[in-house]
Amino acid sequence: MRLKLNLDLENENLPIQYRKSIISFIKLSLSEYNEEYYKKFYNQKDNIIKPFTFSVFLKFPQFKEKEIIIENRKIELNISIADYGNSIILYNAFNHQKNKKFPLNKNSWTLKNISMIMEKKVTSDELNIKFMSPLVVRSRIDKKDYYYSFNDEEFLHTLKTNIKEQLKITNIPTDIVDNFNMKAINAKKIIVKFYEKKIETSAGTFKISGDKNLLEYLYKAGMGSKRSSGFGMFQII
């Protein structure tokens, strides 16, 4: 299921690292709705694989060093969830936040409405896709993170490893990822600052191929690493 949340800003200044604020908003929504559901997705001690991803659309944003100027004071938050059960949990949690102010640094936003977006059906083993939020491909070696964009030699192998990791919470066999492939159509490398790190990511359009069940799951849950932090969400074109 895909949800679209329309947020109204109190003023036009949005923190440059808005993903941190959205993660906090998701956590608050879950914790106030049901503590058990909050712990299902978040735990300070465990790195829990989450079945959702999100992206943000801003109209005519003006990027400054520490903030983004949004003249119309509107944020469109798109969330894609892999399965119906978790979709209902998140929908109900967000619904409890409607018309409440969520504090930001020298600003706030208010959730005005939530709508469900029709998903496309995956009917082929090949898809042309466009990323709505950048794709993060990450490997961890000796407790250090390395990030790869689409032109890197290690990109596809590491992406497959990331996908196999996210499939651990599903019944999809990980060996079908071996036949997965991804080719750039009109892509670019983007450096994103996330918390205190600068992350190399990929954006644009790509062709992906593989098992239809796998492609459908990636379409719903997102692809790659850091999906629940606002990366790896795509649309079918």
- Please tell me whether residues 230 and 145 are part of one structural domain: yes
Choosing from 90, 117, 144, the residue where a domain stops is: 117
- Please tell me whether residues 152 and 203 are part of one structural domain: yes
Identify the domain containing residue 41 by its residue range. Answer: 2-117
**For the purposes of burial, counting CB atoms within 10 Å of the CB of 209, is it exposed (0-12), middle (13-18) or buried (19 or more)?**
middle
CA nearest neighbour of 186 among 210, 163, 202: 202
Among left, alpha and beta (phi > 0; psi -120 to 50; other), residue 56 is beta
- C-alpha–C-alpha distance, residues 110 and 77, integer Å: 12
- Please tell me whether residues 108 and 168 are part of one structural domain: no
- Please tell me whether residues 81 and 54 are part of one structural domain: yes
- Please tell me whether residues 130 and 231 are part of one structural domain: yes
pLDDT greater than 90 at residue 58: yes
**Tally of domains within the chain:** 2
Read off the pLDDT of residues 199-222 as tens digits, 9 standing for 90 and up.
Answer: 999 999 999 999 999 999 999 999
Tell me the pTM. 0.94
- Please tell me whether residues 138 and 212 are part of one structural domain: yes
